[in-house]
Structure 1
Amino acid sequence: MNRKHYSRWSQVWVLAFGCLALQQASAQAPLGHRLQGDRIIVDKASYWRHWTGPSHVVDVHPDGTVKPHFFRHVYNIIAEDRAVFAKPVDQPGIRKADRAIMNLQRTPTLEADGSLTLSKAEQLIKFLNRDFKRFPGNHSQIPLNGRLLTIVDTTLSGDGKTVSLRLRDERTGVASTREFGAKDKIAFPVYDYVQRVGVSRVGSNEALAPHIVDGDRDTFWEPDLAATPDKWWIEIDLARAIVVEKVVLHFVDETLGDPFRQFRVMLAPQQKLIQAQSRVLQFKVVGQTRAPNTDQRTMAFSSADTPGFSEDDGGRTEWTGRMAQTVRILIGDSKLGRAHQIDKAAWDALTVDERGDILYYIRDDVGFEEPVEQAIYESLPQEQQGRKEYYIRERPRLAEVEVWGWGDNLSPKLIDGGGSVSFTGPEVPAGGFDGDWNTTFRMPAWFSNNPTAGILTVDIGARVWLDAMRLAVPSIPGYITEVADGSRDPNGRLRWRQVSLPDRMEGGFKRAADLFDPPLDIRFLNLRLPGIARTSGFFYDLTEVLLYTEGFVSQASLVSDIIRLPGPRNFGAIRWDPPPGTHPPGTTAEVRTRTGDLLVQQIRHFDVNGNEKTKEEWDKLISSWKGPIDTTFALGSGWSPWRQQYLQPGDRDRSPGLRNYQQ
């Protein structure tokens, strides 16, 4: 983990001036610019978000500035990602007494005009049975008179025919009560769901659970010691599968309570959105107490210091850490009401919930004492009543948890961000690049006698400093990794070079890590799984392909779509901010333009899963499998090439004038 820190701004930051949509294509089409008099202006975040580019490596800030994203090395996932990371997920299927995990959040889905998206009407009683109090931390809502009201409580009549709803308007705080028929049909809101970093399940004291991830060492979770020991546990969801290097537990200060006396820390690579489905999680113990812990307020378990924490790569690669999405902490022992003995005055000064046991002793004629029940003690004559021992209750309280993981994996946001993953075969490789241990990509073995088959190609969408690649799989025979920076040979083919070591080609792997120092300046990556004769026809599951960069990207481009000009125009000056000379050291920003007159309409067809189809294929789909039809415009003939970069704000636009369109 002690590696050189590459923290660089992009060496070339390429911007193409323009905007996103044809002005006359739709009166409501979102644009990446505004026309103001004789000027085209791009100065707001809403404009930049409509430009085309690798959004997974570029950040658009609320003030309208655009910056390359900073990629982290090993960092505290909970502290840094809890407020910002959100993984979109499908609505879980709730049934019977199911509840969703606690870190699943939802917001009403909106139409393009800002109105609510509503579901097909259903009976009120059926909606309440599947939704009300089934999503911890989220509201169930009902639309009434153009407003969306929160359902606070429900009361079903004795005959089961009517339901009384106690409602609250979240905007005004006004509460009301309304009567409905249990079988009244109502169109309820449709929701968008995201999975966040946070507590997902807990055995007891659910209201206290969020305190272990709130960044405040003075707040805490403690188990309900009155419950059975199988309820003394808590669980954290990292929201995607990550290579975890270290888990740190911080217990409260001694003035607030005690550390856990005996406990285990377990990691599982997957998660389920329904609480009752936790039994399928494949937990592995990565740390535990070996003796009662009475005074250690911070305890850490890591790949560097804890045997069995890391997964085993057979010592053949540079793998460290363990693939994990779920962290579970189980308490194994407690002294309950007898944490330690105190005097009566101190016991009397405690709050009721802090007071522990009182032990009562009977005294015989020779002064020997032994414990008895309180009722027996109080029935004894005074001369037989022995001493009383007073105890403070054990208060096992966990204040905070740290989970340190390996960097910002490029893969989960790569496809949606503007990169791509392709395969020379019918298989769809997205399952190996989504940060989800529940999905995989089935990849066949590659053979040299058919060199163009069985190749997985990744286009990152921008040039990055690749400093690590990791593979997490059930088993593969070996692998070959090649990279390219985007340069091409005289035939127009990418110039590939192999970066994996020769010993990676055979021997079998379940975990593998290749670290690149210095990092590789690349945009494209190829992966092959070399087979032997007996593996012909074999397929191998790629659960996760993890790609890491640190610092800023090497190069990224933002390109507008097409600006429709008011008419043929000659161009004046082009300006941007900040100007050259004000960027961080080692970085540049390039601005280029082009113009043209002709556009070509493109019509693309998709199925319900988002896969593009030909028109003929789309026509053959049954109606429930047909997805949207997307109409866009592409450049026609006669467009000028990109002009050479402009050197200073105020330079004259050098693209050919008297054209109808510009980028």
Structure 2
Amino acid sequence: MKNHRELGSFLQVLLLCSMISPAAGEELRIGTNADWDAWQRPGNAIEISRGKAGPRFVRRNIDAVANAGDFGGGIRAAGSNSGDAGNLIDGSLSSFWAPDWDDDPENMYVEIDLGRVVSARRVILQLREDGPPLELFQVLLSNGERFFDSTGLPLPSIVRYSDRVRYSFNKQRELVIEYGLKPLQFIRIEVDLPTVGAGISSIAVEAVGDNISLGMRERGGQVDILNEIGTRAEGYESTGNSNALIDGDIVSSWRYWGFSQPGDTEFTFDLGALYWVDRVRILGDLAGIAPSNVDWRWTRRNAIHFPWYILWGSDGSLAPDGSLRWQVLGELPEHPRNLRDIGHFEEQFSLQPLRYLRMRYPNRQCCITGTTAEFQVFGEGYPAGTILQSPIYDLGAVRNATGLSWQVEAPERTRVEIRSRTGNLLQESYVFHDKNGKEVTERKYNKLIPSFKGRIDTVRSPGDDWSIWSQAYERSDRGFLSPTPRRFVQLQAYLLSDDPMQRAVLDELVLSYAEPLAAATRAEIYPIQAQPGQRTEFTYYLGWDSGAGSTGFDQLLMRSGADIELGEIRSAGQVLDAEIIPVDGGWDITFADPFVRTGLIEFDFASTIYRQQMPFEAFLASGREERQVRQRVDVGDASDAVASEAIAVSLPVGPTLIDGLSVSAALVTPNGDGIGDFLQIGFSLLNVLQPRLLHVALYDLSGREVRVLHDQRQTAGPITLSWDGQDEFGQLAAPGNYILRVVVQGDAQTQKTAKIIALAY
């Protein structure tokens, strides 16, 4: 019988140990091209390669032929030997194109499409080194303008070549056509005289750089055109109209039809990411307006550009009223020649990070004003700020996310900010498409006949119970900051750089998760308000529910930015036996007996609060050292005894940053006798969340600074200083009255306070 009891006790202990042992953890690992492709990202601002994701470099002085294919360009047509036409743009000098010399001379041509209009400096042709140089030919250049029909509509398939360069008896192998930053999209080469053995190896177009405007909407950016500002007709243009500014097509353009009461027009561009920018070009080509028409008012002779304009930029930082902070980047003074004599406008400025651009100009009632074919933006370097957001990851069941670790490449002056959010509920919406893949409304979709209906996509988004984005993780593998346990997780990465030549790159993210220690948790504190700088006693209530799959816990970790003086810890009216160890930022509490069933813990503590919404966070834990599993405790209704449902303590609302300035005596007597030799100074710094400059000094009555006691950045908390009666040079100050002045630079204002101090011997 005794053996049976011992065996039963052993099994109970074994069962209890298994219940509180940390469950084997699982991992969600993100580190392949396919993984990163699933993340939402700002279009062409991010590149994914070799399992890594990072910002894409914006180039200056590019060859616009080399990446024409990225914009749908390439060989547009070849009248002869079309199979070799691609050799012109393959980047190799060893291959070449030449027409079939037996073909009709009218077919000895080739056309290249850059895929978008560029601001071109020069066009460079490299002729074949082997064999004779091509002798008699011509190069035709076009900005993309088309011919128009009799109704004034452009003919899409017929390009108008406005520039022509002829070569006769040519002997050179490299030919350079200076183009003066004019718009260019199409190049046509026509061979006028067969030269057997000759050929063209390559063609290049030197352009200003990568046009950041292209792909703006795909990055999540947008263009807003606010028209007729200050009139009753003020309003925004449609997306279709505003797209004309950034589509890379010289034919599509925006203009104001000024036949009503005109007001100013304003363009606002969201680039979709924070870019390094130093140049804006505004192409005012009239290629999209018919040269003539039945109605003269709609023709080129009635179109003008900008009487004047102002261009602003913003990096996305906010003013105190919540609006964007803008700075002037350039302006066009009013002058008659602006209206017709200038077709291309440009502003250059120092290289700087910009997310937004804004331009304003006035309209005229008499004519077509503000014709803008393209708004081009240039710079150099990796974007200064880009955001990537993961899909919603399903952990399969409610799980305890225990840690988030990562591998990144972050050179000096770059950083990665990673955030998370969690929830248990999802919302589903549906996106309808026709048979061509075009998105349509549900109502229109239901009216389509079956053969015209396309796919229906189901879009999952966070539900009502999701947390907000967490604060940025400071270090890899230092716990999980969002509420847990939850079933769904979403991650966000912000890649930042203060150096345009450096970038941060994401290599791998690993989310660790396990079965929850408790199925649900809730915590609240009482009281939830305190007087600043005064010791206050609180009670903390922590409740939890056990459930299927929950493993239990035997540790409680308390963390706060304020001091914590722990008192009695109770559960079910009984004082708990626990080992309490002070750690940086709080206490680690280990209980003698583990908790495996639903319960409630209460404990008393005292603290002194110096800033608003000071949180006191709790974590359940099980296991030791590297095997320890933690679970963050949620905020909620833990006890019927109180109704705070909060774990953060607030202070009375007020603008005070410096509170309770006190000195040990109004008179300091540094005689060396041990009585009044030092002036003790104390005060509380309140509501200073980020380090701010705190300057404490003594001045004579003329305002001359005698001694600096403190001149460093400081956050909220108690401040204690002393003065020994000496000046900055280590000499005893002259007897008399002095002003003790305390100055702190807050977020919204600089606050000062002062006291009169007497010095005597």
Asked whether the two chains share a fold, i.e. TM above 0.5, the reply is yes
Q: Judging changes above 3 Å, is the alpha-carbon distance between structure 1 residues 271 and 629 closer, same or farther for their aligned structure 2 residues?
A: farther
1:288 to 148, 159, 166: 166
Name the SS for the 2:357 alignment partner: strand
Name stretches of at least 5 consecutive residues in structure 1 with no aligned partner: 1-35, 88-194, 303-308, 311-320, 337-393
1:99 maps to what in 2? none
Q: Residue type matched to 2:78 in 1?
A: V
**RMSD after superposition:** 3.5
Determine which structure has the larger strand proportion and give its number.
Answer: 2
- Give the superposition deviation at 1:604: 5.2
Q: Judging changes above 3 Å, is the alpha-carbon distance between structure 1 residues 446 and 570 closer, same or farther for their aligned structure 2 residues?
A: farther
**Is 1:258 aligned to residue 132 of structure 2?**
yes
Alignment deviations for residues 203-254 of structure 1 (CA, whole Å, 9 cap, x no partner): 333344333333333433333444454333322222222222211122222x
Q: Judging changes above 3 Å, is the alpha-carbon distance between structure 1 residues 448 and 57 closer, same or farther for their aligned structure 2 residues?
A: farther
1:511 maps to what in 2? 343
1:662 maps to what in 2? 489
Q: Residue type matched to 1:520 in 2?
A: Q
- Give the superposition deviation at 1:40: 1.9
How is 1:553-568 mapped onto 2 (pairs within 5 angstroms)? 553-568=383-398
Q: Residue type matched to 1:508 in 2?
A: L
Q: Judging changes above 3 Å, is the alpha-carbon distance between structure 1 residues 553 and 251 closer, same or farther for their aligned structure 2 residues?
A: same
How is 1:221-370 mapped onto 2 (pairs within 5 angstroms)? 221-253=97-129, 256-270=130-144, 280-285=158-163, 287-289=165-167, 292-294=169-171, 296-302=172-178, 309-310=179-180, 321-333=181-193
Contact 2:258–2:366 (8 Å) recurs in 1? no
Q: Residue type matched to 1:471 in 2?
A: I
Q: State the alpha-carbon separation in 2 of the partners of residues 508 and 633 from structure 1.
A: 51
Q: Judging changes above 3 Å, is the alpha-carbon distance between structure 1 residues 477 and 619 closer, same or farther for their aligned structure 2 residues?
A: farther
1:415 to 211, 217, 222: 217
Contact 1:447–1:530 (8 Å) recurs in 2? no
Q: Residue type matched to 2:64 in 1?
A: I
Q: State the alpha-carbon separation in 1 of the partners of residues 326 and 434 from structure 2.
A: 34
Q: State the alpha-carbon separation in 2 of the partners of residues 45 and 322 from structure 1.
A: 39
Q: How many residues align?
A: 427
1:426 maps to what in 2? 238
2:466 maps to what in 1? 639
Contact 2:113–2:185 (8 Å) recurs in 1? yes
Q: Judging changes above 3 Å, is the alpha-carbon distance between structure 1 residues 55 and 644 closer, same or farther for their aligned structure 2 residues?
A: same
Contact 2:99–2:109 (8 Å) recurs in 1? yes
Name stretches of at least 5 consecutive residues in structure 2 with no aligned partner: 1-23, 147-154, 226-235, 287-302, 491-761
2:416 maps to what in 1? 589
Alignment deviations for residues 482-522 of structure 1 (CA, whole Å, 9 cap, x no partner): 32222223443323334231427972266334343312321
- Give the superposition deviation at 1:464: 0.6
Larger radius of gyration: 2
- Give the superposition deviation at 1:450: 5.7
Q: State the alpha-carbon separation in 2 of the partners of residues 449 and 52 from structure 1.
A: 41
How is 1:567-606 mapped onto 2 (pairs within 5 angstroms)? 567-578=397-408, 582-603=409-430
- Give the superposition deviation at 1:416: 2.3
Q: Residue type matched to 1:431 in 2?
A: A
Q: Judging changes above 3 Å, is the alpha-carbon distance between structure 1 residues 622 and 459 closer, same or farther for their aligned structure 2 residues?
A: farther
Contact 1:569–1:657 (8 Å) recurs in 2? yes
How is 1:138-287 mapped onto 2 (pairs within 5 angstroms)? 195-197=72-74, 199-253=75-129, 256-270=130-144, 280-285=158-163, 287=165
Name the SS for the 1:546 alignment partner: strand
Q: Judging changes above 3 Å, is the alpha-carbon distance between structure 1 residues 505 and 622 closer, same or farther for their aligned structure 2 residues?
A: farther
Name the SS for the 2:86 alignment partner: helix
Q: State the alpha-carbon separation in 1 of the partners of residues 189 and 270 from structure 2.
A: 39
* TM-score, normalising length: structure 1: 0.57
Q: Residue type matched to 1:646 in 2?
A: Y
Contact 2:109–2:191 (8 Å) recurs in 1? yes
1:73 to 60, 66, 69: 60
- Give the superposition deviation at 1:642: 2.5
Q: Residue type matched to 2:191 in 1?
A: I
Q: Judging changes above 3 Å, is the alpha-carbon distance between structure 1 residues 627 and 467 closer, same or farther for their aligned structure 2 residues?
A: farther
* TM-score, normalising length: structure 2: 0.50
Q: Judging changes above 3 Å, is the alpha-carbon distance between structure 1 residues 492 and 605 closer, same or farther for their aligned structure 2 residues?
A: farther
1:496 maps to what in 2? 326
Q: State the alpha-carbon separation in 1 of the partners of residues 394 and 281 from structure 2.
A: 46
Q: State the alpha-carbon separation in 1 of the partners of residues 344 and 436 from structure 2.
A: 32
Q: Judging changes above 3 Å, is the alpha-carbon distance between structure 1 residues 531 and 626 closer, same or farther for their aligned structure 2 residues?
A: farther
Q: State the alpha-carbon separation in 2 of the partners of residues 446 and 650 from structure 1.
A: 64
Q: Judging changes above 3 Å, is the alpha-carbon distance between structure 1 residues 416 and 540 closer, same or farther for their aligned structure 2 residues?
A: same
Contact 1:411–1:433 (8 Å) recurs in 2? yes
2:40 to 27, 33, 52: 52
Contact 2:263–2:362 (8 Å) recurs in 1? no
Q: Residue type matched to 1:67 in 2?
A: G
Q: Judging changes above 3 Å, is the alpha-carbon distance between structure 1 residues 488 and 606 closer, same or farther for their aligned structure 2 residues?
A: farther
2:70 to 86, 90, 93: 86
Alignment deviations for residues 46-103 of structure 1 (CA, whole Å, 9 cap, x no partner): 1211211202100111x2100110111112233x326xx334xxxxxxxxxxxxxxxx
- Give the superposition deviation at 1:523: 1.1
- Give the superposition deviation at 1:469: 1.8
1:13 maps to what in 2? none
Contact 2:263–2:363 (8 Å) recurs in 1? no
1:548 maps to what in 2? 378
> Of the two structures, which has the highest relative contact order with CA contacts closer than 8 Å and spacing of 6 or more?
1
- Give the superposition deviation at 1:531: 0.7
2:29 maps to what in 1? 41
**Is 1:406 aligned to residue 208 of structure 2?**
yes
1:165 maps to what in 2? none
Q: State the alpha-carbon separation in 2 of the partners of residues 466 and 447 from structure 1.
A: 36
- Give the superposition deviation at 1:410: 2.1
- Give the superposition deviation at 1:271: 8.6
Q: State the alpha-carbon separation in 1 of the partners of residues 391 and 188 from structure 2.
A: 48
Q: State the alpha-carbon separation in 2 of the partners of residues 541 and 513 from structure 1.
A: 12
Q: Judging changes above 3 Å, is the alpha-carbon distance between structure 1 residues 489 and 448 closer, same or farther for their aligned structure 2 residues?
A: farther
Alignment deviations for residues 118-165 of structure 1 (CA, whole Å, 9 cap, x no partner): xxxxxxxxxxxxxxxxxxxxxxxxxxxxxxxxxxxxxxxxxxxxxxxx
Q: Judging changes above 3 Å, is the alpha-carbon distance between structure 1 residues 594 and 497 closer, same or farther for their aligned structure 2 residues?
A: same
Q: Judging changes above 3 Å, is the alpha-carbon distance between structure 1 residues 492 and 620 closer, same or farther for their aligned structure 2 residues?
A: farther
Q: State the alpha-carbon separation in 1 of the partners of residues 358 and 261 from structure 2.
A: 15
Q: State the alpha-carbon separation in 2 of the partners of residues 410 and 608 from structure 1.
A: 33
Q: Judging changes above 3 Å, is the alpha-carbon distance between structure 1 residues 271 and 540 closer, same or farther for their aligned structure 2 residues?
A: closer
Q: State the alpha-carbon separation in 2 of the partners of residues 465 and 513 from structure 1.
A: 20
Name the SS for the 1:86 alignment partner: helix
Q: Judging changes above 3 Å, is the alpha-carbon distance between structure 1 residues 588 and 476 closer, same or farther for their aligned structure 2 residues?
A: farther
2:253 maps to what in 1? 440
